[in-house]
Amino acid sequence: MDGDHTLATHAEKPATRRDFLYVATGAVAAVGGAAVAWPLINQLNPDASTLALATIEFNLSGIEEGQSVTITWRGLPVFVRNRTQAEIDEAKAVPLSELKDPETDEERTKPGHEQWLVMIANCTHLGCVPVGESGDFDGWFCPCHGSHYDTAGRIRRGPAPLNLVVPPYEFLSDTLIQIG
Ligand code: FES
């Protein structure tokens, strides 16, 4: 009987270990989806040395009204758009009560430079890069799962929970911004 008992015990151990490995792998897979959006947010809170390295200057003078460019900052794409007056007016006319992530146009731009919109170009759903001058609100449309952003980059429809993120930036002159 002892022999049988020992065999039975040995037979159970590998099975138990496999079960554990299976569960552990499942747990990693489960958090994988949630982790996708985290780097976008985490990179906005770097330590001081990272911040110093990650500051860039960008000259706006080549961007005409109604044009956008995509630049890179800290490895992230960033939209810089010179908005038309119609786009600004449209953004300002939206009541905050209609917004999923309420922010005024003024909160997303700099005083005296309201034609300029600077935003990290990753959809706040799962990080795709939305298409400009598209969607139901004349702003950006993310084709991955159908999120619509308005002319201030605010989420208006679709699964994205938040507005496109405005990074820390300032105007050094009328045509030069520093991001970071
Ligand atoms: S990543 Fe943009 S809607 Fe899902």
pLDDT single digits (tens) 82-92 = 999 999 999 99
Whole-structure pTM value: 0.72
Chain-centre distance for alpha carbon 22: 32
CA dist list (Å): 11 to 8, 17, 38, 101: 5, 11, 42, 56
* 145 given a catalytic annotation: yes
Structure tokens belonging to residue 89: 């007016």
141 DSSP β-pair partners: 131, 148
Name the strands in the sheet holding 131-134, side by side, starting at the edge strand that comes first in the sequence: 131-134, 138-142, 147-150, 155-157
Structure tokens belonging to residue 148: 């619509």
128 CA closest ligand 1 atom index: 1
91 within ligand 1 shell (Cβ under 6 A)? no
Position 61 scores a pLDDT of 96
40 within ligand 1 shell (Cβ under 6 A)? no
126 within ligand 1 shell (Cβ under 6 A)? yes
Question: Residues of the chain whose pLDDT is less than 50?
Answer: 1-15, 17-36, 52
